[in-house]
Amino acid sequence: MADDKDVLRDVWFGRIPSCFTLNQDEVTEREAEPYYLLLPRVSYLTLVTDKVKKHFHKAMRAEDVEEMWFEYEGTPLKWHNPIGVLFDLHASSSVLPWSITVHFKNFPDRDLLHCPSSSVIEAHFMSGIKEADALKHKSHVVNDMQKKDHKQLWMGLQNDKFDQFWAINRKLMEYSSEDGGFRYIPFRIYQTTSDRPFIQKLFRPTSPEGSAHTLGDLLKEMCPTALPPDGEPKRYQVVIHGIEPLLETPLQWLSEHLSHPDNFLHICVIPVPSD
């Protein structure tokens, strides 16, 4: 059985092979070849695609270039969601490499947030960490940290440094033994079939009687349609980091080991692929 710490590493180093192709309506001066990249599941599109931008800029005139944005099969990709979530939600049933279309014009600002610089990504990332700690520890742990600790979390993510990140993040994963877990579990459930971008509500890791809540308990409460009705074949997959954890898995354990760097459990509910 894998050591729990190995799980943390597997999550952190998860990669998705991707192929970036320029939108055919973009005006180019020369032919723009597709660009291949291994994308970290736990990072954000705008943080890891500088090379993509440089590559396509070489084929275009400056005046034809505006803010870069990405789209998959007609759906603008929300950079503020972790890459792994975008893939699992939109493209998990398709053949690899993940084929992403790159745009430099007509930014869809009714759908996508602008991302003019990495400080915007940092602010968004830290905002997630703070919110997660508000749920887990009433913000005590994150507020007791020094600014340099916050910075270290961000730098760890930005530079893909597992040890640097977890040196600080482990504090956010602690809880006192009498509590038996975090105050509330930070989670978001995504479903493409819903208008709502995600489901996020208060949910405790243990029941009032003290028994551990499982992934199944969470779904039953928050997204019952995700669970198969009795006796019928399942219609949805519940995916975290590209895998389907057993519904019996304790939620506290999932929160400690399968959270993204922002300390949220991002859960995708997707229709079972019809082959």
Partner 1 sequence: MSCALDERDFRRCCRLLLRRSKQLRDGWSWEPVQGSEEGYLRKTAVRSVFLDPEGSGSDSEPRASGPSGPGQQEEEEEAADTDRRVIEDEDEDEDEGVCGVSAGSSQVLQYEYHILHSCSYAAPVLYFRAFTQGDPCTHTHTHTHTHTHTHTHTHTHTVCWMLMVLLMVGCSEWFDCVLLRCKLGGATSSTTPQTKGGSVRISAKKRQEAPKILPADEGRSLSLEAMWSSVHPNYRLRLQSSPLNTISLQEHPLLGQPFFMLHPCRTEEVMRPVLQAAHEQHRPVNYVLSWLSAVGPVVGLDVPLKYSTLLSPAASPGSSSDTD
Residues lying near partner 1 in the complex (CB under 8 A) are found at 53, 57, 62-63, 65-67, 78, 80, 107, 109-114, 116-117, 119-120, 123-124, 126-127, 130-132, 134-135, 139, 186, 195-198, 200-202
Q: The tokens of 109 are what?
A: 């600002």
Q: Which is nearer to partner 1, 165 or 184 (CB)?
A: 184
With b meaning 16 or more CB within 10 Å and e meaning fewer, what string describes 186-222?
A: bbbbbbeeeeeebbeeebbbbeeeeebbbbbbbbeeb
Strand, coil or helix: what is 28?
Answer: coil
The amino acid at residue 243 is I
Q: Summarize the chain as % helix, strand, coil (round to 5).
A: 35, 20, 45
The token pair at 250 is 């304790």
Tell me which residue has tokens 């994150």: 142
Nearer to partner 1, 63 or 163 (CB): 63
Two structure tokens written together for 82:
């972790």
Nearer to partner 1, 6 or 221 (CB): 221
CB of 181 to partner 1, least distance (A): 17
For partner 1, give the closer residue by CB, 67 or 160: 67
**Phi/psi of residue 35, each to 5°?**
-120, 130
Is the CB of 114 or the CB of 170 nearer to partner 1?
A: 114
Residue 190 amino acid letter: Y
- Nearest distance in Å: CB 135, partner 1: 5
CB of 119 to partner 1, least distance (A): 5
Q: Toward partner 1, which CB reaches closer, 12 or 260?
A: 260
Closest distance to partner 1 from the beta carbon of 5 (Å): 28
Strands 75-76 and 265-271: unpaired
Peptide bond into 245 cis (omega under 30): no
